[in-house]
Amino acid sequence: SAVISQKPSRDICQRGTSLTIQCQVDSQVTMMFWYRQQPGQSLTLIATANQGSEATYESGFVIDKFPISRPNLTFSTLTVSNMSPEDSSIYLCSVEAVGQSSYEQYFGPGTRLTVT
Amino acid sequence: SQQGEEDPQALSIQEGENATMNCSYKTSINNLQWYRQNSGRGLVHLILIRSNEREKHSGRLRVTLDTSKKSSSLLITASRAADTASYFCATALPIYNQGGKLIFGQGTELSVKP
């Protein structure tokens, strides 16, 4: 399985500001994803981070609000822009590891964001 | 909308008992994966079962998949207090020609009392 780290692990931000979350993987991976987990809720996919091209966003998420970069096969960033208290969530990146014709996804430790 | 629905939403058992969690989904899948999350931390991958498999074991975990009923179950045998966590099922929908993005169920909150 891949080892995934995220920075920062947590942050408290003021509304109207932006925060960039980093995700680093210890090996090259094809597929990277960003998820959001609102308080007491399950995970919702924000977007697929594509290396060398624009991210693919899910319904309800837009690039202006959640710009994503994927400069190489081991690193990605998610920015939460113009934050409001509703953006308070845990943000998690995940990677897909291929093994024996199956595709397991492994998650980073998450970034806990509180917007005041 | 969420693909998966899990039941029960919460389960409280005594140490040593077995815990069974169920997951239902709506569309065709590549595979189904189970995760554990402790107190809002990162997700720990437990087990993946492919759409052409019916049962899989890993230690004290047993997962079944019934694609005709679009349902899966996770059984934890001889539970321990350390198993206390939230458990999520996630279905992988095909994108491109490999793997898939995950759609998560609402989760089951398991409490194992010593």
Q: What is the pLDDT of residue A31?
A: 85
Q: Residue A111 pLDDT > 70, yes or no?
A: yes
Q: Does A42 touch chain B (CB under 8 A)?
A: yes
CA distance B49 to B93: 13
Average pLDDT over residues B62-72: 96
Q: What is the pLDDT of residue A100?
A: 56
Chain B residues with a Cβ under 8 Å from any Cβ in chain A:
2, 30-31, 33, 35, 40-43, 45, 48, 50, 88, 90, 92, 95, 98-107
Q: What is the pLDDT of residue B99?
A: 53
% of chain A surpassing 90 pLDDT: 80
Quote the mean pLDDT of chain A.
93
pLDDT tens across A2-45, in order? 899 999 999 999 999 999 999 999 999 888 999 999 998 999 99
- One-letter amino acid at A3 equals V
Asked whether the beta carbons of B93 and B70 are under 8 A apart, the reply is no
Residue A44: CA atoms inside 13 Å, Cβ hemisphere, count? 16
Asked whether the beta carbons of A14 and A87 are under 8 A apart, the reply is no
Query: Which DSSP string do the residues of A65-114 spell out, in sequence order?
Result: TS-EEEEETTEEEEEE-S--GGG-EEEEEEEEEEETTEEEEEE---EEEE
Q: What is the pLDDT of residue B6?
A: 86
Q: What is the pLDDT of residue B1?
A: 46
Asked whether the beta carbons of A79 and A93 are under 8 A apart, the reply is no
Q: What is the pLDDT of residue A99?
A: 61
